[in-house]
Amino acid sequence: MVQTICVCGAGTMGSSIAQAASQHQFHVILYDVNTGMLAKAKAGMQSNLQSLVQKNKITAETSADILSRIQFVSDINDCLADLIIEAIVEKPEVKVALFNQLAEVNHSETVLATNTSSLSVTEIAKKVKHPERVAGMHFFNPATIMKLVEVVKTPFSNEQTIDAIVQTARQMDKTPVLCEDSPGFIVNHVARPYYLEALKLAEQGVTDFQTIDTLLEATGFKMGPFRLMDLIGNDINYAVSCQVYEALGKPERLQPSPIQKEKVENGHLGRKTGKGYYEY
């Protein structure tokens, strides 16, 4: 049974997954190589929790409890847990190296879950010493609010691994959905045209990005594509587009956008850098 969760990567997703897990009584270790990101994650959680207190959704005592259950660490030897959820940079070799290091530190049953949005979980698992303990646990942004978790099984994942992930997701009040390890899984595959067609319209000068967002939001979408890409992070969203495009044999309709590539090259990643399509 999972009691302690180690979340690796204290960025957009890691900090939100850590808070969500602590809000559901898990002991949480939040690990990042960058201590500045750990400090930023802690400050972000304090501010989120403070706003929940102000809205009378939780008490000040609950808010303090949630924070006290999270340990912020930058030493991998402190990452001892029943379940690891990695939410680090979207590069397969870095994720594999991290899992192999964590497998050394942890006990033989520790589950190694990846929050990757687009990489092949099977390819990651193949290179990890314990492929049977690897699976995908794909949260949506922000993980404190979004209910869906895609659980990605590989041909190597054993039953205990999938059961532990599904059970933990349920305990976090999420809705786990089992899916195949196919490019973009389900949601990111279906959502690709939402971003890419909007980018094409802006690229061709048909209209500007603010108008596209305003119109789509007026039709009922919670967030227009550009506002959403800024929330996700343009680096992550672009990496997903490239990954899905390559994995599906480079179909013309899914070609990644030069506008987004330029945003990434200029460091205009969205909310996390203070500037993307919009300024924050």
Ligand X SMILES: NC(=O)c1ccc[n+]([C@@H]2O[C@H](COP(=O)([O-])OP(=O)(O)OC[C@H]3O[C@@H](n4cnc5c(N)ncnc54)[C@H](O)[C@@H]3O)[C@@H](O)[C@H]2O)c1
Neighbours of 218 (CB within 10 A): 9
The residue among 85, 80, 94 whose CA lies nearest residue 112 is 85
Q: Which of 138, 189, 234, 241 is catalytic?
A: 138
Q: Which one of residues 26, 32, 172, 243 is an interface residue with ligand X (CB under 6 A)?
A: 32
Candidate segments 12-20, 60-68, 149-157, 217-225, binder of ligand X by CB under 6 A: 12-20
Task: Report whether the peptide linkage leading into residue 183 is cis, meaning its omega lies within 30 degrees of zero.
Answer: no
Nearer to ligand X, 31 or 245 (CB): 31
Q: Which of 117, 120, 157, 257 is catalytic?
A: 117
3-state secondary structure of 64: helix
Establish if 37 lies at the interface with ligand X (CB under 6 A).
yes
Establish if 39 lies at the interface with ligand X (CB under 6 A).
no
The span from the CA of 136 to the CA of 133, in Å, is: 10
Q: Retrieve residue 55's tokens.
A: 């809205």
Pairing of strands 83-86, 4-8: parallel
Note whether 259 and 202 are within 8 A (CB): yes
The residue among 162, 165, 185, 163 whose CA lies nearest residue 240 is 185
Which of the residues 175 through 214 are near ligand X (CB under 6 A)? none
Residue span 87-106 as binding mask against ligand X, x where in contact by CB under 6 A, dash where not: xxxx---x---x--------
The yes-or-no answer on residue 117 being catalytic is yes
Candidate segments 21-29, 45-53, 84-92, 216-224, binder of ligand X by CB under 6 A: 84-92
Give the amino acid at 120: S
- Give the binding site for ligand X (CB under 6 A): 8-14, 31-34, 37, 87-90, 94, 98, 115-117, 138-139, 141, 232-233, 236, 272
Q: Annotated catalytic sites, by residue?
A: 117, 138, 150, 188
